[in-house]
Amino acid sequence: MSKPDTIVLIHGFWVTPRSWEDWIAHYEAKGFKVIAPAYPGFEVEVEALRADTTPIENLSVDAVVDKIAGIIEGLDAPPIIMGHSAGGVFTQLLLDRGLGAVGVTFNSAPTEGVKVVPLSQIKSTFPVLKNPANHHKAVPISFEQWNYAFTNTFPEDEARRLYDRYAIPVSGRVLFDSVLANFQPGHQSTWVDYSNDKRAPLLFISGSEDNIMPPKVQASNAKHYKSAATTTEVKVYDGYPHLLPAAPGWQSIADEALTWALTHTP
């Protein structure tokens, strides 16, 4: 197989593809075609989603994965798939479908069956999960909540700038359903086959200072994969928060992730 020439960047919750803006330019400068797909209904700007949260309220995991799968299936060759936060879950779901040449996740949320729930994660998501009525809402995030969950290592002025530029409400339904997946009978929307021998290689990248998805979450997620026929690795970067793609030094992480991906392409 020739090395991939396309990178698909999948954003997480509380943000849009705009959160990848620097990475898009970085990888394009290296000669790659870069696709940063929006979730269904998220094809508008951040400001528009804040004004009309209907697409957020209507969001579902299956709709996101189906949309991105359709984009990948339309490519001439399997791409590198990279996902941040919830985008890490979508990356795993896409790889499990047999899509992508290789996958890299950054501070990934867990797939079904991962039961590690650190206290900082509970604190980060409690503003949404504390009220069952939020299940049917698009729930906004305050700056204080954003700063704890996403930008806890940033100076306050930079944290506020990123909040103003990137932050949107989150889908209460998807967040609730993801949390409850381990307590529902049968496979839920974030289930993957951890014994899938045909899954592409996968790297979990973690930031040591991430409050919402600490490294122990990715470590547990990676340990669930049982196949010896494919590669699953974990790497932790000291000093990085959840919003790793915007943290100082992100360029070196982007380059190391790309090198790993190209090296591990079958």
- What are the tens digits of pLDDT across the range 127-176? 888 888 888 899 999 999 999 999 999 999 999 999 999 999 999 888 87
* 134-151 exposure pattern, b = at least 16 Cβ within 10 A, e = fewer: bbebbbbbeeebbbbbbb
What is the mean predicted confidence (pLDDT) over 85-94? 97
- Model pTM score: 0.95
* Residue 19: band (very low, low, confident or very high) from pLDDT cuts 50, 70, 90: very high
- Main-chain dihedrals φ then ψ at residue 149, nearest 5 degrees: -80, -35
Is a pLDDT exceeding 80 seen at residue 177?
no
